[in-house]
Amino acid sequence: MESSRRKFLKIAGLSVLGLGAKPVIESFAQGIEPTYSTDKKALKGKKWAMVIDVDKCKDDCEDCIAACHRGHNVPKIDNVKHEIKWIWHEEFKNAFPAQEYDNLAERLEHKPFMVLCNHCTNPPCVRVCPTKATFKREDGIVLMDFHRCIGCRFCMAACPYGSRSFNWFDPRKYLEVTSPDFPTRSKGVVEKCNFCAERLAIGKIPLCVEACKEEALVFGDLEDPNSPVKKILKERYAIRRKPSLGTGPNIFYVI
């Protein structure tokens, strides 16, 4: 079953979802390493990260969210308890609770901050996943194998950022259009931002970054001194979400 499933995924062109990657940082699993071919144009990194220039990000714009959710077949469910989100907006006090203070700059206080999976250096979700359905890839992306997810939601309890959503219902019923470029999910699995691993594999940058007309979102490799993210972080002060937890978030907010 294992091998046939992987074969199917390979045929379907989805092996980039990371089945071949070394699974979990905390294990010495000696699983079978499937072979798969990679696109020559594929973007390769050692530690993918994102910098968000908060001042450039317009309050009333949701282009990045729309592009991401459309491209990844994220269902639109209005009930807050059951909604699915990969990127969403959060106020400063919720996004950066320990960094809030009285007399916070007005432009920040009620600004909708764009938040997503932090692709942590020490991801707590990976630590608790009992089936290795979620794992950290060598390029830093915290990925999910939806087929392995048993819907226990331990990752959701462990993630301090609320970056994960659970499909309480069949998400396909909540899709107006279905993108052929990304698989839809079934009921009973968790999902979250995948840093557009499927696009990096064919040489494209993440959808949210591409969609941002203001160029507020910058994507790149932290290990590459010439990468755009590295260049910005060399000069600008940035904050991260809940840094004291030791998760090592790789989404940086230039404020």
Partner 1 sequence: MSAEDKNVENEEMIVRCTSALDCGGRCPLRLHVKDGVIVKIEGDDFADPEKQLRACLRGRAYRHWIYHPDRLKYPMKRVGERGEGKVERISWDEAMDTIVKQLHRIKETYGNSAIFFSGGGHLGALHTIGPLARALSMFGGYTTSYGNISSEGPVYAVMTSYGDVMVGHSRDDLANTKLIIMWGWDPVRMISGTDCVHSLMKAKENGTRIISIDPRLTHSGATYADEWIPIIPGTDTAMMVSMAYVMIKENLQDQAFLDKYTVGFDKFKDYVLGIEDGVEKTPAWASEICGVPVETITRLAREYATTDPACLMDCQGPARSAMGEQYNRCAIALTTMTGNIGKPGGSACGGLMGIPYGHMFRSAGIPGMRNPAEAGGPSIRGTLDLNLRLVRRIHVNKVFDAFLEGKKAGYPADIKMAWFAGGNIMTQRGNINKGDRAMKSLEFIVSQDLFLTPTARYADIVLPVMSFAEKNDLTRPWPSGPYLTYANKAIEPIGECKSDWEIGNLLAEKLGYEDFDNNTEDEWLRIFVEKNPEYAQYIKDYDTFKHDGIYRMEMEEPYIAFKKQIEDPENNPFNTPSGKIEIFSERVAELNNPDCPPIPKYISTWEDRNDPLMEKYPLQLLSPHPRVRAHSTLQNVDWLEEVEPHAVWINPVDAEPRGIRDGDEVFVFNDRGKLAIKAWVTRRIIPGVVSIYEGAWYDPDEEGIDRGGCVNVLTNDAYSPGGAAALKTALVQITTT
Site for partner 1 in 57-116 (CB under 8 A): none
Kindly indicate which of the ranges 41-49, 64-72, 102-110, 155-163 contains the residues binding partner 1, using the contact rule CB under 8 A: 155-163
Do 113 and 53 touch, CB atoms closer than 8 A? no
- Residue 184 or 186 having the CB closest to partner 1: 186
Residue 56 binds partner 1, judged by CB under 8 A: no
Residue 29 binds partner 1, judged by CB under 8 A: yes
Residue 150 binds partner 1, judged by CB under 8 A: yes
Residue 152 binds partner 1, judged by CB under 8 A: yes
- Residue 187 or 236 having the CB closest to partner 1: 187
Among 36, 61, 66, 169, binds partner 1 (CB under 8 A): 169
Residue 168 binds partner 1, judged by CB under 8 A: yes
Would you tell me which residues interact with partner 1 (CB under 8 A)? 2, 26-31, 124, 127-128, 130-132, 150-154, 156-158, 168-169, 188
